[in-house]
Each structure stands twice: as structure tokens, then as C-alpha cells.
Amino acid sequence: MSSEWPLWEIFIRGQHGLNHRHVGSLHAPDAELAIKNARDVYTRRNEGVSIWAVRSSDIVASSPGDKGPLFEPANSKVYRHPTFYDIPNDVGHM
């Protein structure tokens, strides 16, 4: 088991100009093969123009249990949204 290939997270840029998006993960012994494997596993139907591979162990993730403390404070800040302000129609788009 100690020789198991490490896990990589794969991000694909679908079209020129867009962000890379996470599509899934795979095992590969090194960076070069991670890209090659990602090509075979995730872009068999020409889904992308570019691939990022990141070692899963290098990803730092928030815990699902922290969802409340992390994101709930934004709920009360409705004034961060443009629709909070009543702007008369006749002054045009703003």
C-alpha cells in the first residue's frame, strides 16, 4: 500500500477565457502522468483547452461543519446586492 500512487485534483478550462473548474480526481505517480491521465479520464470528448493538476494533499479545505460560521454572516448584509437600492427607472440602467 505504501507504493500507491498519490491522488491529484483535476481542473479543466472548458473554453478560452473561462476559469479552470474542478472536474474530479485521479491517481498518478507524478505531475506529468497526472496531466496525461487527466487528458484520458476527463477530456475524451474534447471538453477542454487546458488542464491543471494539483496534489490532493496540497488542497486545504474548510470543514462542512464550518458552513454556518463562515457563510451565514453574509445573509444579513443584504445591502451588498444592487437590488437593495431603489433606483427610479427613468434615470437609466445603473
Partner 1 sequence: MYAQLVKTDSTHVRGLDEMSDEERAFQERIDRGEKIEPKEWMPEGYRKTLIRQIGQHAHSEIVGQLPEGNWITRAPTLERKAILLAKVQDEAGHGLYLYCAAETLGVSRDELMELLHAGKMKYSSIFNYPTLTWADMGAVGWLVDGAAIMNQVPLQRTSYGPYSRAMIRICKEESFHQRQGYDIMMKMARGTPAQKHMAQDALNRFWYPALMMFGPSDKDSVHSAQSMAWKIKMNTNDELRQKFVDQTVPQAEHLGLTVPDENLRWNEEKGGYDFSEPDWSEFFEVIAGNGPCNRERLGARVKAWEDGAWFRDGLKAHADKAARRPAMAVAAE
Residue 1 has what DSSP assignment? Answer: -
Residues 42-81 that bind partner 1 (CB under 8 A): 50, 77, 79-81
Cβ at position 91, least distance to partner 1 in Å: 5
Binding mask 2-41 for partner 1 (x = CB under 8 A): --------------xxxx----------------------
Residue 67 has what DSSP assignment? Answer: H
Q: Which of 33, 41, 55, 43 is nearest to 13 (CA)?
A: 43
Question: What span, in angstroms and rounded, lies between the C-alpha atoms of 20 and 12?
Answer: 5
Grid cell in block for residue 61? 479545505
Total residues in contact with partner 1, by rule CB under 8 A: 19
Residue placing its CB nearer to partner 1 in the complex, 18 or 70? 18
Helix ranges (H only) for 7-85 are 31-42, 67-71
Which parts of this chain interact with partner 1 (CB under 8 A)? 16-19, 50, 77, 79-82, 84-88, 90-92, 94
